[in-house]
Amino acid sequence: MAELTEELFQMGRPQEPAPRPSAAPPQGASKHGAPTVVVDDLHIVYRVYGAASAAEKGNAANALMRIIRRQGRPQMKEVHAVKGVSFVAHHGDAIGIIGRNGSGKSTLLRAIAGLLPPHKGAVYTDGQPSLLGVNAALMKELTGERNIVLGCYAMGMSPAQVKEKYDEIVEFSGIGEFVQFPMSTYSSGMGARLRFAIASAKTHDVLLIDEALATGDRDFKRKSQERIQQMRQEAGTVFLVAHNLDVIEETCNRVIWLHKGKIKMDGDPTTVLAAYNS
């Protein structure tokens, strides 16, 4: 991985100083295409204010007494969410990230997107990573129409490109006449579909998708999978987090299984999913 890391450092943008050499690329990496993402010995640690335990909470009377006694704030706790993760992704890869709740899947995507600084190690990307729902940030008080326009502008599209893609985004999202209504009137599924439609209207170097395909009917899921396949061919790399393992198996050419913040297995979907389900 050291050679690939150095190569990508020259092409991409470092989020941290040059990383130390690490192990060879994991089995299951794409044999075609240049490296697009290098994750090298990545550790993510974040701080949370832990609530009191069940025994400490007691009942409402105990809670009131704590307030009266001006007890201090809840203690701050450190969560080591990602622990020494290393892998290389290539152009044309669609990588599924699986694991139980709390395994570090969403944290890993946010780190690749540059939204969480590494506590240790580094992430290098060739091009700009885009986390679905961040670049296309939607505002509930605005209509779907305005959100489409602003979301596309946020991704760097020109007015001409927005005009060209507008009808396609509306049709793909399936929100119909609701495009003229405020986002506050949308169901969570409608909002997720619109986010995916906006984000996938642009060619991305690296697209990170977190549970976007968990909503919607069978037709929308089919269209979404087809769109991901298209993005793989035309753009760079797609990362997909989904609890629906059928979506992972049908969409991805590689699966990374996270367990308690570490990679437990990395390889082709059939092998990894079989082990995960066993």
Give the count of alpha carbons within 13 A of 78, CB side only: 6
- What is the fold of 131-277? Rossmann fold (3.40.50)
> How far, in Å, CA of 130 to CA of 209, rounded?
9
* Residue 93 and residue 251 in contact, taking contact as beta carbons nearer than 8 Å: no
DSSP code of residue 185: G
> How far, in Å, CA of 100 to CA of 26, rounded?
21
Give the model's pLDDT for residue 113: 92
Is the pTM above the cut of 0.85? no
pLDDT < 70 positions in the chain: 1-32, 49-75, 133-137, 212-216, 235
Residue 4: Cβ within 10 Å count: 18
* Residue 246 and residue 234 in contact, taking contact as beta carbons nearer than 8 Å: no
Distances (CA, A) of 9 to 107, 204, 274: 22, 19, 35
- In 91-197, beta strands by DSSP E: 94-98, 120-125, 129-131
Q: Residue ranges of the domains in the chain?
A: 131-277
Give the model's pLDDT for residue 204: 83
Please spell the DSSP secondary structure of 223-273, one letter per residue: HHHHHHHHHHHHSSEEEEE-S-HHHHHHH-SEEEEEETTEEEEEE-HHHHH
* Residue 116 and residue 46 in contact, taking contact as beta carbons nearer than 8 Å: yes
DSSP code of residue 75: P
- The backbone torsions φ and ψ at residue 95, rounded to the nearest 5 degrees and listed phi first, read -110, 120
- The backbone torsions φ and ψ at residue 186, rounded to the nearest 5 degrees and listed phi first, read -85, 150
Rg (CA), the chain: 21
Q: Is 130 exposed, middle or buried (0-12, 13-18, 19+ CB in 10 A)?
A: buried
- pLDDT tens for 27-63 read 444 555 789 999 999 999 988 765 555 455 556 666 6
